[in-house]
Structure 1
Amino acid sequence: MSALQRHRELTRIWASDPGWRKCFTTVSHTDLGRMFICAAFSFFAIGGLLAMLIRAQLASPNSAFMGPEGYAQVFTMHGTIMMFLFAIPLIEGVAVYLLPKLLGTRDLAYPRLTAYGFWCYILGGTMLIFALLAGIAPDGGWFMYPPLTSSVASPGINTDFWLLGITFVEISAICAAVEIIVSILRYRAPGMALSKMPIFAWYMLVVAVMILTGFPPMILGSILLELERAFGLPFFQMEAGGDSLLWQHLFWLFGHPEVYIIFLPAAGVISTILPIMSRTTLLGYGWVVAAAVALGVLSFGLWVHHMFTTGIPHMGLAFFSAASTLVAVPTAVQIFAWIGTLWKGRPRATLPMLYILAFFVTFVIGGLTGVMVAIVPFDWQVHDTHFIVAHLHYVLVGGFVFPMLGAIYYWLPHFTGRRRFFRLGETAFWLIVPAFHVTFLGVHWAGLLGQRRRTWTYESGQGWDIINLISSIGGFVMAIGFVLVLIDIVTNAVVAVRGSRNPWKAGTLEWAMPTPPPAYNFASLPEITTRDPLHADPDLAAKIAKGEGYLGDWNRGRRETLVVNAATGKPAHVTVYSGNTLLPFIMAVVTAGIFLGMLFKLYWLVPIAVIGVAALVVHWVWGLGSAGEEGLLDVGRNLSLRPAAEVSDPPGWWGSMFLLLADATLFGSLIFGFAFLWTVAPNWPPQEWVEVSPLWLTLFVIGITLAPWAIRHGLKQVEKGRSARLSFSLAAIGSVMLTAAALLLLTFVPDPTRHAYDATLWVIAGYVGFHGTLITAMSIFLLVRNARGYLSPRKKGEIRIARLWIDFAVVTGLIGLGGAGLSGILT
C-alpha cells in the first residue's frame, strides 16, 4: 500500500466534522489546541486593552478619565483575565497541541475531556466578559480579599461573577492537568523511556502535578466565600468565629505556585528552542529536570511570602523569607544550563532567539526584585506599592510572554505549513521589549517613591507625574508592538509560501510529520531510542509515512494508539478512541446551569443541572468498552496487544488516580481551614455540646466497613468468573449508609449560619455526602454492567476504578465525619 493511500484512509478515520460543526464536535487535540491558543490570545487582547485604560488613567494626576468604581472593575478584570483567562489557558493550549506530537502518539489520553475543558473555559470566560460589558464586573481585585468582598461590603453581583466564573474556568485547568499527566506517562512512542522524553514534556509533567495540588485550595476558597455570600455561612466573619486571613492562606496556597505554573512551561519552551537555535544539545538535561522538579516542590512553601504584613509570628517570617530566597537556586541551575548551552553552541539570531534573549534580561531583573521583596524589612516598605506591580510584570511578562512569543514563531511553520515571508515580527520585537522596560522600570521607580497600587488617582507634586506619563507612553508603544505581532502572524499564516517540513533542523518528533499536521499525526508510530530521533535517523519521517512503525494498518477502521509502560516505554496495550461528538459541548452547557443558577439565585436550576450532568456522565462512560472480549490485536512489527478495556489498569484508572490527587488536596485544604480557624478564631468550638446519636454511629461504621469490603469481594468474584451481583449490591448499600451518616450529621447542626464551626461541619458533611452519593452511583453502575456482560476476568478495570473512589470516600469520611462525630463534640 502506498503512503498516499494510507494518508487518505487514516484521514477518513481521524478527520473532524466539516464546516461549522467542527468547532462543537471535534475531539482532535490539534483542533482543540489551536482553539485554546486563539481563545487565550483573544482574552489577552481584552486584558491588554484594559491595561491601556489603566495607563491612560494614571498618566496624569487627578485624572477624570475613569471614576473609582470603573477603575476598580478595570484593574480587577485586567489581572483576572491575564492570570486566569490568558496565561493558564495558553499553557493548556500549547501543551494540548504539542505533547502528542512531541511524544510520538496520535492523541491525548482523553480527547473528550479536553473538549469538555475547553468549553468550560470558554463559557466561564464569557460570564466574566459579559459582566465587564454590563458594568457589573468584579471590583475587589484579582485576589478578592474578604471582608472587602463580603456580602456586607460588596452586596452586588460583581463578586459572585468572579467566584463562580473563575471556579467554572478552573474545571478546564483540572481537566487539562489530568489529561497531560496521563498522556505523558502512558501515551508515548514505543521505546521512549522517561529518560528519553523531550524536555518540554518533563516541564509539563511538573506543571500538571502543580495544577492538581495548587488549584484546589483556590477552588475551595471560592466555594466557601460564595456560600458565605449566598447563604450566610460565616467562614470569614470574625464576629461569628471566622477569620478573613483564611482566605489569604487558601488564595496564596494557589497564588504563589501559580507564578511557577506559568513560568515552568515557558522554561520548557526555552529548553526546547535554545539548543536548536544554538545548533547543539541542551547542557545538563538531568540537572534541568531536577531543577524543574525542585522548583515545583519549593513553590508550595512560599505562600506566606505574600502575607508578611499581616502579623505573622517572627519565626514564621524567618522561615518563609528563607524559603523565598532558596527558590532562586533551582532557577539559577536552569539559567546557567541555558547559558552553558549558548556557550557550547553556535547561536543564530532568529526571531525566537531574540525573544529568548529578552527573557534572560527581563526575568533576571524580575528575579532580583523577587529576592528583594523576600527580605521582610524591605517587603514591609514596598508592600502594596507599584514596586510590587512592576515586579509581578517583570516575572510574568519576562518569564512567560516573551518565551511564548518565541514559541509561537518557532512552531508557526508547524501550525501553518508556511515559512515566514513578511518581517513585521522583528519590528514588533524592537517596539515591545524596550517599551516594556520603559514602562515597568518607571513603575518600579514610582513604587519606591511611595505610589500605592490599586488607587484610582493621585495628587500632583509627589514626584510621580513625569514617571507615570513616561510609563504610560511606553505602555502604548508596547501595545502597538503586540498589534504588529498579530498582523505578522496572520499575514504569514495566510499569504506566505509553503515551507519545508523541518525548517529549524530540529531533532524532535513533531517535525517528522507533514505540516500543517494531519488529523492522525503519525501514519505509524515509530520506535524511539534517543532524545533526538530525527538527528539519529534522518530517514525516520519517510519510514513513518511508509507504515514501518506500529499501527500503520487501518483495517479495523477506528481511532487507535498505543499505551506504553510508564517508565520504560515498552508497548502495553491499545487504546480505542471515540469519534467526533457533541457530548462535551452539551455537558459544558449543562454544567454552566449549575453556576448560572447560583449566580442569579435561581437555586431550583442547580439540582436540575446537577442531575443533567450526572445523566450525561453515565452516557459518557457507558460507551467505554463493549460486552465480550476482543482478545489480542495485531499492532504491527510482529506484536499483538490487548485493548485497554481488557487490562487491569485502563486509562480511566490512571485518570481517576490523578483526579483523586486534586480531590485529596481540596479535602486537605478544608481540614487545614478547620484547623486554622480552631487555632486562631475566637470561641472555637462554641461551648455547647451534644452527644453522638447511636443511629449515626451505626450508619457510619457500616458505611466505612461494608463498602470497601464488598467492592473487593466483587473484584475477586469477577476474577474467578462468578457473579458479583450480591457484592456490588452490598457496596451500594454501604455507600448509601455513608451518605446517610453525612446527612444525619447535618441534623445535629441545624443552623450553619450561627458560627463558623457549624458552617465548617456542614461543608465537611456535604463533602462526604457528595462522595457517598458518587460511589453509590458507581456501585449501581457496576451492578448493571455486570448484568449486561461488560465485566469478565480480563475486563475488571472498571471495578478497580470504583475501588479507588470507594477507598477515597471511606478515608475522607473517616477523617471528616470521624473527626467531627466520634469526638462527641457536635454543636
Structure 2
Amino acid sequence: MSAVAPSTATPEDERLQALHDTWSTPPGWRGRLTAVNHSTIGLRFIVTGLAFFLIGGLLSMFIRLQLAWFGNEVLDPQRYAEFVTMHGTTMMFLFAVPIMEGFALYLVPKMLGARDLPFPRLSAFGYWCYLFGGLFLYSSFLFDAVPDSGWFMYVPLTDATWSPGLNADFWLIGVTFSEIAAVAAAVEMIVAILIGRAPGMDLRRIPLFAWAMLVTSFMIVFGFPPLILASILLEIQRAFGFVFFDPALGGDPLLWQHLFWLFGHPEVYIIFLPAAGVVSMVVSTFARRPMVGYTWIVLALVGTGFLSFGLWVHHMFTVGIPLLALAFFSAASMAVAIPMGIQVFAWIATLWAGRPWLRVPTLYLFGFFFVFVPGGLTGVMVAMVPFDWQAHDSHFVVAHLHHVLIGGLMFPLFAGLYYWLPLASGREPSESLSRTAFWLVFIGFNLTFLPMYLTGLLGMPRRSYTYLPELGFHWLNLVSTAAGFVLAVGMVAVLVDVALSFRHGPRARRNPWRAGTLEWAMQHPVPNFNFASVPRVQGRDALWADPMLAEATSRPDGLLGDARHGVRELIGSSLLDARPEQVIRVSGPTWLPLVAALVLAMLLACFIAKLYWLALAMALPLFAVLWRWAWTTGDPGGPDAVEAEPGLVLPTQGAARNAPGWWALVMSLLVDGSLFASLVFSYFYLWLGTEAWPPAGIAIAGWPAAITSLVLLAACAGAAQFATRALRSDARGRAAAGWLATGLLGTGFLVAQAWAMAPTGAPGTHAYASVAWTLAGFHIVHVLLAMLFAAFVAARLRRNLVTAARPLEARVTAGLWRYTVAQGVLAWGVIHLFPRLA
C-alpha cells in the first residue's frame, strides 16, 4: 500500500478554493442559461447590444443606398418606411441604452469594490427581457407586419384606423418589453451605488463613471415611465376601443407627443451621461493625473439630469404651443449647455495639466471632442424657435441627431471598449488595426453627416424616400452614402479587432494603463467574486492612494475572505460614509430569471395575437414563478448575523435597517409614482382640451359609493399598521391576522370601487371615461399586488421566516400598502372629487 502524500494546500489556498466553489457557474449550456454573475450578464448586454448595432447599421446602409441618387428604387416607399422605423428603434432602444447599461453592470461593482450586484437575479431577468423584447420586435418581419410609423410612433398614424394591422402592436409591446430591462438595471444600479460601496468609499470618492450611472439611473426611473404609459394607453386604445387620442371623443393626438418626449429628451442625456462618465475615466488615466474639478463634474451631471426633464417641448416647437411657453423651453434648451460645457472644460483642463499618453483610447477621446462640440452647437441652433421652425423635419435635424448621439456615444463607447478590453479579455488588441479602424470611423462619420446639414438647409425633408433632381443636392447625398460605407467598414473593423483580441491578442499585464480605480486591482482572468477580500478605500483614486491595495484584495484574509458558509456574500455599507453595516446574501445560478422572462414573453405573444383570455391565464404561471423567486430571496432560514471578519459581526439583510430590499421598494415606487403622475398628467391635459368634464351623458359616482370605497381603503392601511406593530412585539399570530385582514378589506374595496365606477359607462364613449377607468384600474392592480404581498408575509410568518428580528418582508409590505393607500386617495380625488369642483 502506497503512502498518501500530505496535502500542500495552505489555509489561504483552501479559502480561495472555497470562494471559487461558492461563486462558480455550472459548465456547459446549463451554466450559460442560469448564470446571474454581474460580469457575465454585463458582457451579454454588451455583445447583444453590438449585435443589434450591426443590424441597425445594416438597415441604415439600405436607407443610404436609397437616398444616394434621385429616383433610386433600392427600397419601395413601404419598405423604406419600415427600415427607417426599425433603424431608429433599434439604435435608440436596443443599442444605445442597453449597451451602456451593460458597461455599468460589468464595471460598477468592480469600481465600487463589490463582489456583485445586490439583486443578481434581477439583472439576469432584465437581460432576458431585453433579448426577448428585441427578438419580439424583429419577429415582425416573419409576419410581414414590420412597424412603419417612425421610431416615435406618432398618433393618429399608429391608431387602429390608420394602422389596422399588427405593425404598431409589435413596436408597442416589443419596446415596452425591452424597457423592463432598462428599469430593472436602473433600480439595480441605484441600490448598488448607494449601499454597495467598499468601506471608505464615501460620496466624495465614488468614481465618476459610477456617478454618471447613478444620475442616469434616476433619470431612467423618472423618464421611462411616461413612454411606458403612452405605449400602454395606445395599445389599450388599439385593442379595446379606448379613446385617449381620438379628438372626436375628447382625446388628443398631442398627448402622445407630450408623453413620448417627456421620455424622449431625457433619453438623449440618458445616452450621453454614461458616455461622459467613460470620458472622465479615460481622460484621468491617460492624462496620468486625478480629474480636475471632480466636484464640479458631479454637480454638472446632476444639473444635466434635472434640466433634461424641462426640455421635452424642444421637439414640439411647430405644433402650435403658445409663444410664451416656447420661450421658456427654448431658454431651458440652451441652459442645458452650461453643465455640459463644465464637463468639457474639466476634461480639457485635466489633459492640459497632465502628461497625455497617446494610445487608441486617447484617439477616440480626441475624435469625441472634435465631433461632439459642433454637434452641441447645432443643438443650440435648433433650440432657437425661429430657426427650428425652418429646420424642423429636415435633414439638418437628422444630421444634428446623429452628430450628438453617435458623436456623444459611439466615440466614448469605443474609447471605453479599448480601455477596458484588457480587463475583460486579459489581452490587448492589435495596435495597427485599432488605429486604422479609428481613422476609417472618424473620416467616414464626418463625411457622412456633415453634408446632411447642407441638404437639410437646402430643403431635403426627413423620412422622404426620394427627391427631385431639380433640388440640386444629389451629389451631397452621394458623398454621404459613399462615406457611410467607409464608416461601416471602420465600425466592423473595430468589432473584428475586439473579437480577435479575446483569442489572439497579446497577453496584457495587470493594470496595463496604470489606472487608479478599483476595477484594475483584479487579476486576469477576473474571478467571479472579483475580490478575495473586500478592499478598504483610502482615496478617490484608490490604487494611486494605496499602491499595495491590489495585492491586499487578492488574499482571502480580510473582509469576507472566509467563504466557509457556502453562500455568496456582499458588504452593505452606509449611505454617506460607506461604513460596513450588513452582509448581503445573494443568489447563485438559477433558472428563475429565464423562466420568468419566457412566461412573460408568452403572455405578451398571446396578447398581440388577441388571445386575451389566454394571456390572462398566463398570469398564473408568472405569479407562481415570482412567488418562488420571492420565497428564495435573501437566504431564508439563514442566520440573523454573521462574522464578516475577525471581530466584526454584521446583521444579514433580513435583519438590517438599511436592507437592499427596502431600497429596491423605494426605487420601484419612484418608477411607479412617475407612471401614476404621467397618468394624472394625461387626465388633466385632456380636461384642458374639452368644454365639459365629464361630458353630458356620463355620470359621476354617488357619494355613498365613493365614500365607502375610500373608508375601506383607509381601513386597509389601518390593518397593515396593526400587523406591523404586532410583529414588533413579536406577536406573530396577531401579525398574520392583521395581514390577512388587509386582504379581506382589500376585497371589499374592490367591490366598492366597481360600484363607484359603474355610472361612468363604457370607456370607449369619451376620453373622460377612458382615463377615469384607466386610473381606477391602475390603482386596482396595486391593491391586488399589495394583497398578494400581505398573503406572502402571512405565509412567511407561519414558517417562522419573518420575525421581530428579521422584519424586512413585513416592512416592505407595509411600505407598499402605505403607498397604495396614498395613491388611491389621490386617484379617488381625481375621479370622484375633481369633476365636482371643476
Q: Which TM-score applies when normalising by structure 1?
A: 0.98
Correspondence for 2:507 among 478, 493, 498: 498
Query: For residue 755 of structure 1, what is the amino acid of its counterpart?
Result: H
Say yes or no: does 1:799 pair with 2:814. Answer: no
Q: Deviations over 1:630-673 (max 9, x none)?
A: 24311115211111111234211110100100100000000000
Aligned to 2:89: 80
Letter in structure 1 aligned against 2:602: G
Of 530, 535, 546, the match for 1:537: 546
Distance 1:163 1:253 in 2: 17
Q: Which residue does the alignment assign to 1:768? A: 779
Preserved CA contact (<8 Å) 1:439 1:475: yes
Q: CA deviation at 1:825?
A: 5.4
SS at match of 2:825: helix
Matching residue's letter, 2:664: G
Q: Spell out the pairing of 1:707-746 with structure 2 (5 A cutoff).
A: 707-723=716-732, 724-746=735-757
What's the CA shift string for 1:471-512, capped at 9, x where partnerless? Answer: 000101100111111111111111123210100001111111
Q: Distance in 2 between matches of 1:331 and 1:373?
A: 17
Q: 2:306 matched to which residue of 1?
A: 297
2:160 paired with 1:147: no
Corresponding residue for 2:31?
A: 22
Match of 1:252 in 2: 261
Give the Cα separation in 1 of the matches to 2:298 and 2:93. 26
Query: Offset of 1:452 from its aligned partner?
Result: 0.2
Q: Report the equivalent of 1:780.
A: 791
The code of the aligned residue for 2:313 comes to: V
1:657 partnered with 2:673:
no
What secondary structure does 2:649 align onto? strand
- Counterpart of 1:20 in 2: which secondary structure? helix
* 1:234 counterpart = 2:243: yes
Residue in 2 aligned with 1:102? 111
Gaps of 5+ in 2: 1-9
2:610 maps to which residue? 601
Distance 1:681 1:529 in 2: 62
Offset at residue 819 of structure 1 (A): 2.1
DSSP-derived class of the 1:304 partner: helix
Which one of 815, 820, 823 corresponds to residue 826 of structure 2? 815
How far off is 1:693 after superposition?
3.9
Report the counterpart of residue 138 of structure 2 in structure 1.
129
Take 1:784 and 1:736, find their aligned partners in 2: how far apart are those partners? 19
Q: 1:235, 1:759 within 8 Å by CA — same for their partners in 2? A: yes
For 1:205, the equivalent position in structure 2 comes to 214
Equivalent residues in 2 for 1:159-174, closer than 5 Å: 159-174=168-183
Structure 1 residue 6 corresponds to structure 2 residue 8: no
**2-structure distance, mates of 1:3, 1:267:** 41
1:423 counterpart SS class: helix
SS in 1 for 2:763: coil
Distance 1:679 1:692 in 2: 22
Residue segments in structure 1 that go unaligned for 5+ positions in a row: none
Give the superposition deviation at 1:132: 3.2
Aligned counterparts of 2:85 and 2:115: Cα–Cα separation in 1: 40
Is the 8 Å Cα contact of residues 422 and 491 (structure 1) preserved in structure 2?
no
What is the CA distance between 1:3 and its match in structure 2?
Answer: 4.8
SS of 2:440's partner is helix
Structure-to-structure mapping, 1:650-729, within 5 angstroms: 650-681=659-690, 683-688=692-697, 690=699, 692-693=701-702, 696-723=705-732, 724-729=735-740
Does the 8 Å CA contact 1:177/1:209 hold for their aligned counterparts?
Answer: yes
> Counterparts of 1:692 and 1:137 in 2: how far apart (Å)?
43
Q: Could you say what secondary structure the match of 1:206 adopts?
A: helix
CA distance in 1, matches of 2:698, 2:233: 25
Match of 1:217 in 2: 226
Paired residues in the alignment total: 827
Structure 2 counterparts to residues 415-564 of structure 1, below 5 A: 415-421=424-430, 423-564=432-573
Q: 1:799: Cα distance to partner?
A: 1.3
* Residue aligned with 2:448, SS: helix
Contact 1:186 1:564 survives alignment (8 Å): yes
Equivalent position of 1:156 in the other structure: 165
Alignment check: 8 A CA contact 2:640 2:654 kept: no
1:201, 1:417 → 2: CA distance? 23
State the 1:714 CA deviation. Answer: 1.3
More deviation, 408-417/712-721: 712-721
Distance in structure 1 (CA, Å) of the matches to 2:835 and 2:369: 59
Query: Is the alpha carbon distance of 1:824 and 1:450 closer, same or farther for their aligned partners in structure 2, counting shifts above 3 Å?
Result: closer
2:759 maps to: 748
The answer on whether the counterparts of 2:700 and 2:759 sit within 8 Å (CA) in structure 1 is: no
Rounded to whole Å, the distance in 2 between the matches of 1:808 and 1:710 is 14
Q: Secondary structure at the match of 1:85?
A: helix
- SS where residue 561 of structure 1 aligns? strand
SS of 2:511's equivalent?
coil
| Residue 687 (structure 1) shift | 2.0
Does the alignment pair 1:355 with 2:364?
Answer: yes
Change (3 A) 1:219 1:292: same
**Residues 424 and 627 of structure 1, relative CA distance in 2, 3 Å threshold:** closer
Deviations 1:309-364 (A, max 9, x none): 00000110100000000000000000000010011001111110111111111110
Q: Give the distance between the partners of 2:425 and 2:14, measured in 1 at CA.
A: 23
* TM-superposed deviation, 1:695: 5.3
1:305 is paired with a residue of what secondary structure? helix
- Give the Cα–Cα distance (whole angstroms) in 2 for the partners of residues 321 and 549 of structure 1: 55
Identity percentage of aligned residues: 45
2:377 is the counterpart of 1:372 = no
Given the alignment of the two structures, is residue 282 of structure 1 paired with residue 288 of structure 2, yes or no?
Answer: no
Equivalents in 2 of 1:826, 1:784: separation in Å? 45
Alpha-carbon distance, 1:612 to partner = 1.9
2:623 counterpart of 1:614: yes
| Residue 682 of structure 1, CA deviation | 5.5
SS of 2:583's equivalent in the other structure is strand
1:305-454 mapped onto 2 (5 Å cutoff): 305-421=314-430, 423-454=432-463
Letter of the aligned partner of 2:627 in structure 1?
V
Maintained 8 Å contact 1:419/1:500: no
Query: Secondary structure of 1:338's match?
Result: helix
Note if contact 1:149-1:159 (Cα within 8 Å) is conserved in structure 2: yes
Aligned to 2:3: none
1:176-210 alpha-carbon deviations (Å, 9 max, x no partner): 00000000001111121111111111110000000
Deviations 1:425-457 (A, max 9, x none): 110110111111111011111000000000111
Is contact 1:217–1:254 with CA below 8 Å preserved after alignment? yes
Could you tell me how far apart the structure 1 residues matched to 2:557 and 2:642 are? 17
SS in 2 for 1:461: helix
Q: Distance in 2 between matches of 1:825 and 1:754?
A: 20
CA RMSD of aligned residues (A): 1.6
Structure 2 counterpart SS, 1:581: coil
User: Which residue of 173, 192, 202 maps to 2:201?
Assistant: 192
How far does residue 627 in structure 1 lie from its aligned partner after superposition?
A: 6.5
Asked if 2 retains the 8 angstrom alpha-carbon contact of 1:324 and 1:374, the reply is yes
- Indicate the SS of the match to 1:335: helix
Q: Write the letter of the residue equivalent to 1:772.
A: V
Alpha-carbon separation, structure 2, partners of 1:683 and 1:693: 19
The offset of 1:757, in angstroms, is 0.7
